[in-house]
Amino acid sequence: MKKILLLLAIAFTASALPAQNNDMYSVMYHDKQGLPFVNEGLLQQRDGDFIINTFAFEDTNTYDEAPLGNMFYKMSPVSLTFTDSLFIADTTMVSLRCYHLDHNPNGEGNILSYFKFHEDCDSCFLHIYHFTDNNLTPIEDVVAPVCEGYAFGKVSIVDRLGDIILQYNKSDALNVYEYVARFGLDGTLKCHVGLNGNEPVTYSAGQLSVLKEYPLTYYQWGEAGTFNDGHENFIIYTLDSVFNRNPVIISSKISTANEYIQYDGETKVIPVGGDNVLVAAKYTHEVNPQNPMQDEFGVVVAKYDLRTMQPKGYITFNDYPGINGKGKCLGIKMMTDGTVYFLYKENGYPQESFVAVKMDTDLNVEWKRFFKTDNISIEWLESPVLCKDEQGEEKGIAWIGDGHTSENIYGHPVIFFYFNHDGTVGANETSIEFRPYCYYPNPAKEQLHIQFSPDVQPAQVELYDLHGRLVHKQNNAYESIDLSQLPAGTYTLCVTLEEGKTYSDKVVKK
C-alpha cells in the first residue's frame, strides 16, 4: 500500500494544541520534506467550521514525491479537530493547483471546481462538485467541456450571478493566448471570449477578480514593461460582465521624492470601493541616485484611483537602508466594514520577523503586531478569509500558506494563521513570539531601535545581562537605546507597557 504524505500540519498537531478563548490556533505545521505547493483553499462554512485544501503526495523518502491528489478537511475552530475529509485522486501537478472553493451563491452548500486536461480525448474540462455545509460528500458531479487540445488555467471566482469564471491559456510554438469563460453551476457555457481578441498576450495579467458588484465589473493586474527611467510599469485591466477589457497603465513612481513600487509576483491588489484599489508591493526609495548603496527598501501600500491613474496616498513599512531591508508582501484583505489587514515579512531587521497591520482604506494605521514563530519562516499566504461568529458578525481574518523551518529549508509546513479584530491571535506563547513592537538591528553595535504600535504606550525599557543584573534603564525616548558603553554579549530586553504587560527578548551587542 502506498504511504501518503499529507502537507497539512494541523492534521498532525491540532489534537495536542489547546484553543484559548475559542480563538483558532495561529500557526500549526508539519515539517516534512515535500513539494512546496499549498492550494488556494480556505473557506469558512456557514456553521463556522473551515474547509482547508492541500495536496497529498506519495512518500518515497526522496525530494521528488509523486502527486496523488487533493485533500480537503473540515476543521472546527473551537476544538481544532477535523470532522470530515475528502480525497480527490489526481496525479497531474497542473490540475492539482487549480482547485477553487466557494460558497454556493444561490443557496445552501458549497462549490468545488477545477480545470483539467484529459489525455484520453485531448481536451480540457471544467469539473464542478456540490457539497453541503454539514459534510464534504459530493451530492452532484458536473463535467463540462471547455476546449480541445492542451490548455492550462484555473477557476477564478464564483460571482454574484452564481456563475463560475474560468481563465485559461493556450500556446503555440511562439505565443500565448488568454481566454475566459462563464459557466453556470450546472455546467452550461454562457460566455467564452479571447481576452486579447485573436491576438497573443502582450502584457502578463493575473487572476481575474471582482472590482465592483454593481454594475458587475472585474479586474486583472500585472507588469507592463518599463518607462524610460528603467522602472516597471503596472497594468490593471478592468472588464465588464462580458469581459470587454480596458487597460489602465500606472507608473511605479508614487511620489516626487524618487519613491517607487517594485512590482513582482508578490504584489497584491484589492478593490476598496468605487474605482479605488490598494496595491501592496515591495518599495524602493532612491535616496541618492548616484549611490544605490544608500537606497532604502521595504514594503508599501498605495491607494490608486483607476479613473485618474494616479496614487491618492501611500504608506511605507520597513524602509531600511541596504538590500537586506527588502520586505515581502504576504497578504492584504478588506473586511466589509472597511477595515484593511496587511501582512508582510521583514527580510532584514529584525531577523525573520513578520508584521500584521490594521488600517482603514485611507491608510490610517490602528495597530501593528510584530511576531516570529519559533523557527518557522512563512514564505507566502493565500486565500484570506473573513471569519464570522455564529451570529454572522466578522470577528477576524484567517490565511493559509507555506513556509519552512531553519532546520529543514526543504520542508514545507502548512501555516494556518488567524487574527482577531483587536490584534490578538489566541496563540500558545511557547510557539509564537507576539509583540506590539519590533526592535532592530539584532545583533546591534551602537544603537538598538524600537518601533511601537500606535495603539500602545511604553512605560519602561530595561536591559539585563546574563547574570540578571540591570545594566540599562530608561523611561522616555524609547525609540533608541544607546549600547555603546556596554560590553559585547547577549542581553535580555524587557519592555513594559503602561497597562502593565511586560515582554522579554534576547538582543546581542557586537
SS3 484: coil
Nearest 10 degrees: Cα torsion 402, 407, 409, 415: 0
Flag whether the pTM goes above 0.85. no
Q: Which helix (H) or strand (E) holds 11?
A: helix 10-13
Quickly list DSSP for 74-100. Answer: EE-TTT--EEEEEEEE---HHHHTT-E
| pLDDT reported for residue 261 | 86
208-248 residue pLDDT tens: 899 999 899 999 988 776 665 667 778 888 999 999 988 88
| pLDDT reported for residue 21 | 32
**Between residues 96 and 235, the one the model is more confident about:** 235
Q: Is the pLDDT of residue 365 over 90?
A: yes
* Averaged pLDDT, 21-44: 46
Rounded CA-CA distance 185/192 in Å is: 15
For residue 282, the one-letter residue type is K
| Chain centre distance of CA 416 | 11
392-445 residue pLDDT tens: 777 778 777 766 665 555 555 566 677 778 877 654 433 456 788 888 778 888
**Structural domains present in the chain:** 438-510 (2.60.40.1930)
| pLDDT interval class at 5 (50, 70, 90) | very low
Q: Is the pLDDT of residue 167 over 60?
A: yes
| pLDDT reported for residue 324 | 57
| pLDDT reported for residue 128 | 93
Residue 458 vs residues 293, 382, 434, 501: alpha-carbon distances, Å: 34, 34, 16, 10
| pLDDT reported for residue 491 | 94
Cell numbers at 448, concatenated: 538598538
Q: Is the pLDDT of residue 375 over 80?
A: no
**Between residues 10 and 491, the one the model is more confident about:** 491
Q: Is the pLDDT of residue 465 over 70?
A: yes
- Percent of the chain residues past pLDDT 90, beyond the cut: 25
| pLDDT reported for residue 143 | 95
* Averaged pLDDT, 119-133: 91
Q: Other CB atoms closer than 10 Å to residue 389's CB: what's the count?
A: 12
Please name every residue paired with 176 in a beta bridge, in sequence order, or none if there are none.
171
Whole-number average pLDDT of the chain? 78
| pLDDT reported for residue 325 | 57
* Averaged pLDDT, 145-166: 91
| pLDDT reported for residue 49 | 82
Winning range, highest mean pLDDT, from 86-95, 229-238, 368-377: 229-238
Give the Cα-Cα-Cα angle 228, 231, 232 (nearest 5 degrees). 110
Q: Is the pLDDT of residue 269 over 80?
A: yes
Q: Is the pLDDT of residue 64 over 70?
A: no
* Averaged pLDDT, 67-74: 78
| pLDDT interval class at 24 (50, 70, 90) | very low
- Pairing mode, if any, of strands 268-271 and 276-285? antiparallel
Rounded CA-CA distance 116/123 in Å is: 9
Contact 208, 218 (CB under 8 A): yes
Rounded CA-CA distance 421/395 in Å is: 6
Range with lowest mean pLDDT among 45-59, 368-382, 477-491: 368-382
| pLDDT reported for residue 227 | 60
| pLDDT reported for residue 318 | 73
* Averaged pLDDT, 146-167: 91
Quickly list DSSP for 317-377. Answer: EEEEESGGG-EEEEEEEE-TTS-EEEEEEESSSSTTEEEEEEE-TT--EEEEEEEEBTTEE
| pLDDT reported for residue 144 | 96
Total residues found in the chain within this entry? 510
Q: Is the pLDDT of residue 9 over 50?
A: no
Contact 425, 415 (CB under 8 A): no
Cell numbers at 28, concatenated: 500549526
Count CA within 13 A, CB hemisphere, residue 326: 12
| pLDDT reported for residue 55 | 73
Please name every residue paired with 434 in a beta bridge, in sequence order, or none if there are none.
371
Residue 472 vs residues 150, 456, 464, 486, 495: alpha-carbon distances, Å: 67, 22, 7, 9, 12
